[in-house]
Structures are given as C-alpha cells and as structure tokens.
Chains A and B, each alone.
Chain A
Amino acid sequence: MLELSNVRAGYDEIEVLHGVDMTVGEGEIVALIGSNGAGKTTTMRTICGILSATHGTITYRGEPIQEEPSHEIVERGIVQVPENRDLFTNMTVMDNLLLGAQTADAQAKRDETLEEMLELFPRLAERKSQRAGTMSGGEQQMLTLARALMGDPDLLILDEPSIGLAPQLVQEVFDVVEEVHSQGVTVLMVEQNVQQTLRLADRGYVMENGRITMSAPGDELLEDDGIVEAYLGV
C-alpha cells in the first residue's frame, strides 16, 4: 500500500533521514520504533508531505506521492495524527471535528462519521461546544484521534498517540486503534510504549540514526531480548 524507497529528508541543511526503506501492506498495523532523534517523526512528516523528500521515492497504491503538498496526500486517504496534537485550541471541539473531514468522500458521509465519533468518544460528545484548548491532555488526544478519523482515512498515521497520558488513557488509545483497525483501516504508528505497540502490530521497524536497521513481525521483535534492550530502552 505504502512504500518508501531510499528516502532522504530533513530540515534545511540538516539531513535527518539517510535513505529509509519501508513498506506498509493493506490492512496491516505497522510500528516504527527507535530511540529519540532516530528520525521517526521526520519519517511521518515526510510521508504526509509536511517535509519534502530530497531523494528517493514514496509510492502509495503504486503512485508516487513525494512531490505532493499535504492536502493532496490527505485527499488520497492518508491522514496523520501529529505528535504535538496540533489542535485548534481556540476553536470548539465541534469545529475541530468538522475540520477533519476534508476530502469529498469524507464530507459526503460527514454527519454519519460524526455520530460514530461521538459514540466512540462519549467525552467529546459532552464537550462539543467547549474550546479544545480548555480540555485535559487525554481529552485533547482523543479529539486529535477523532478528528483524524473524521477524514475517513485508508491509512492512519499516528505519531506517539499515547505520549504523556495516564496508563488508563494509554489503554483507551490502544483500544481505539484496535477498533479502527478492525474496521479495515491500515495503521502506521510511532510509539514509545514499545511492548504494547509490538503486541498490537503485525510488523515492526527499528530505526536508528535515520536508517531502518531491522524489520520483523512484532512478536519476534518482542522476544528478541537484545533488541528490546538495545533499541527500545526497556
């Protein structure tokens, strides 16, 4: 479904990704793990067109997308949940949700999806007309997820969805990811909660210094004590 081949990218003069290769298959949950500064977030941002690749190709369903601006990539069905949440804090929960539905497809079934989301996240339903910035961190994370799902994604890209959340909320986030995946959405996620993520993921990639150093099914990576120790900081 998604294929990165020898992708180089970075910020201005500083190259962060030195040739990344990875694939995400239809219907998979793929985890990208690695220590801080390895280039995980940069990879996500490059896929989504927020950063542009200086070298290499990114193909989605057989078509190159590395030249496209982010709104066209969203149009293709790739929706990102950014690490820093990027909510519109002065706008209402409802406005934030509505802004998630951008493509023609997503807009066509907007009201339907909206109802589903309010069911899936009852706390958001209670706070529809509250300003997003006045909610707790966990609620904001839920809103970010719900907003992404409003875009009716085929491929959902999650950048550290559980960061800074209480353990109970972390579980809630993972439950939502599983629920979404069971509805046929492909998921690519970066996570610090390595154990939990790898248990959920079909495959995992380990990233180090801007390169992929290992890829294997999730449970294999989990069982490999050396990897868990060396890369995952457990």
Chain B
Amino acid sequence: MSTIESVRESYRDFDDQTYAPFVKGVALFGFLAALPYIIEIDVAGMELAATLSLKVLILTVIYAYTAQAWNIMSGYTGQFSFGHAAFFGIGAYATQKLLADLALNPWVGMLVAGVIAAGYGLIIGFLTFRFKLKGHYFALATLAFAELLRFVVVNMSELQGANGYFKPFPRDYGAEYGLLAFQFQSDLPYYYLILGFLLVVTLISWLIKNSWIGLYFFAIREDESAAASVGVPAFRYKMLGVAVSAFFTALGGAYWSMYFNTIRPDTVFALFKNVELLLPAVVGGPGTLIGPIVGSFIVTPVSEVARTTFTNINGLDRIIYGAFLVAIVIYSPRGVVSWPSRARALWNRVRSTDSNEEVNN
C-alpha cells in the first residue's frame, strides 16, 4: 500500500467519526479568522496584502455568505434562482429606509428586512411553483421578479429613486461606533462580523443538510414527481427553501448597506448582482456545504484584483466572471469541490490501464 493510500484510509476513518464535521468547521473558520494576518506575512520581501487587501477579503466573505444562502434554495432543492438580487436589494433598502425614517437600529432593521425578503420570496414561490415553472423558465421568472424591483425602486421617490441612500452616522440613530451600531471605523471588525454571518449561515445550512428537511430537499431536486409520489409535500418544502434563502440573502444585503457608504438601485439591484450572488456556489459546487465558500475564494479575489489592476480595461472583472461561468458549466458542472474525486477516478483509470499492460506483456 502506498503512502497516499494509507493517508486516504486514515482520512476515511476520521471522516466516519461524529466529531469530524466539527473539527473541519473549526479548522476552516480558524483559517479564515487568521487570514487577515496571514496575508500580511512577509515572504521573501513580498506581501500577499500588496495585492490582496482586507477589503477584497471582506468582499470575498460577503459573496461566500450570499452564495451559501443561495445554495440553500437553489443548490439543495434544485430550483435555480437567477434573481437573488431581489432579496439582496430588499435587505439593503429596508435596512436603510428604516434607519433613515425611524432611526431603527440596523440589527433590528436587518431582521425586518429579512422577513420582508422572505415574504417576497414566498410570493415568487407561490406564483412560480403553483404553475409548475421549472428549469430555465423558473430561472427567467426569478430574474424578472428581481428586475421588476429595480424599476420600481428607481421610480419611487419614497425610496430616493435612482439616488439611493447614504449611510447615516451612528450618532444619527443614537449610537456610537461599535458592534451595536453595526458601524466601525476600520475594516478589521467588519471582516470578523461578516465571518460571523458566514459561520451562522453555514451552520444552518449544515443542520438543514443533515436533517429531514435536507432529505426532502434533495429528493425534490432529484425527481420532483417521485418525491410527490412517495408523499413529500414538494410545494411546501420548496416554499420553505425560498423563504430561508431569501431571509439570509437579505441579511447579506443589510450588511452590504452598512459596510459601504451608499446603496443605489444600480448597485444592489443590478442585473449583474444576480450573477455575483450565485456564481461562487456554481463554481465551488452547488448543493455542497463547502462549495460556496471555496467558490468565492476563487472567483472574487481574481475578479477584484483584475478590476483594480487593469483600471484601463473597463469591465474586465465581468469578463472574468463570464469566463468562469462558461468554463465551469461546460467542464465541471459539479464544481471545484468535485475535483479531488474526479482526479482520483482518473488516477485509478490510469493505473488500471498500466497494470493491464503489464499483464499483457
């Protein structure tokens, strides 16, 4: 037995243990927590931080978070949403509107926004699932519902139209910089806050995946009519998937609105936002727990660095997104996380042909 095989064997033993997910989770989030310091380590006179700033890390974790939320609906139940910008935008707008008009603390406003987004998700779900929209048609319908909101917001003076909202100072709603105000004077606390968000949504995603709900979701994704014939209330569970996913996506929008200074319809409701919200999950591996996180760490830094480095080429980040999307859909629809097992299968095939040749000789 080779060393590779014995390592794999002991990994499999570890994987069977009940504490394995816990150990993996701690390792992953421990690494992510240390990341802001890791990028500052000086290696042979080069710092990773020179190209990979804390801002890029924050963006990366934001998109890991939103992809994780998208994954609960689209990855698990197979209802491919192309319109999650609707929920993201609702999260940002409702939080800022409540803050501006009622001076409502963003932590509370964020939850209200989440509930509104879940409600909007249920409306979309009711209309599309009732009429059994599937596949491309469903994706297009969700896109239409997202675009609809953008047009509405642009034309509503009550929501400041195309100008959007400017984030108020903490003192405007009777708070000081800090966790309670959801505002900080440096980026590092923002990073740990969104990392906390990611931890929560990943935990919930894990719980869903390992429960009855997850079993039902996967059954629906696999074959909806078969699920119905064994008695899974498919409609109800698809509605649940939309609501949970919309709620958490909205919290991501709320965070966005509290991190950046302004929100406008053409940023949070942008057509392209729909792609940004789902791409990490698709690249990393839809329907897997780790996929959305891995995917975001591939997609976001590359496109951000490209955007800031090649400032003279407008839209380069989008070209990169497009290239990722096309490549992954064609060559690896199960995402990057499926690569190790694919590599192993390939390796086994190569080896078995080798040994066959030996036999023939």
Residues of A within 8 A of B (CB): 48, 50, 69-71, 74-75, 79-80, 82, 86-91, 95, 98-100, 102-103, 147-148, 151
Contacts and interface: CB of A to CB of B under 8 A. Distances in A.
B313 interface: no
Given A86-B223, A90-B222, A95-B215, A50 B231 contact: no
Interface in B319-352: none
A71 B233 CA distance: 6
Given A70-B231, A82-B229, 5 more contacts: A80-B229, A95-B215, A98-B215, A99-B215, A99-B216
Contact of B219 (A70, A99, A148, A151): A99
B218 A95 contact: yes
Given A86-B225, A86-B226, A71 B232 contact: yes
Interface in B213-261: 215-216, 218-219, 222-223, 225-234
Contacts of B230: 74, 79, 86, 99-100, 102, 147-148, 151
Contacts, number: 58
B229 A70 contact: yes
Nearest to A106: B231
A50 B231 CA distance: 11
A190 B228 CA distance: 21
A103 B232 CA distance: 10
Interface string B251-281: 0000000000000000000000000000000
Contacts of B233: 69, 71
Nearest to A73: B231
B361 to A, nearest CB: 33
Contact of B228 (A70, A98, A148): A70
A98 B232 CA distance: 11
B222 A89 contact: yes
Nearest to A80: B229
A102 B232 contact: yes
Nearest to A88: B222
A70 B227 CA distance: 10
B132 to A, nearest CB: 13
Given A95-B218, A98-B215, A99-B215, A88 B223 contact: yes
Top 10 closest pairs, chain A to chain B, by CB: A74-B231, A102-B231, A86-B226, A71-B233, A88-B222, A71-B231, A70-B228, A99-B219, A99-B230, A88-B219
A70 B232 CA distance: 9
B231 A91 contact: no
Contacts of A91: 218-219, 222
Interface string B94-111: 000000000000000000
A74 B215 CA distance: 18
Nearest to A85: B226
Contacts of A75: 231
Contacts of A99: 215-216, 219, 227, 230, 232
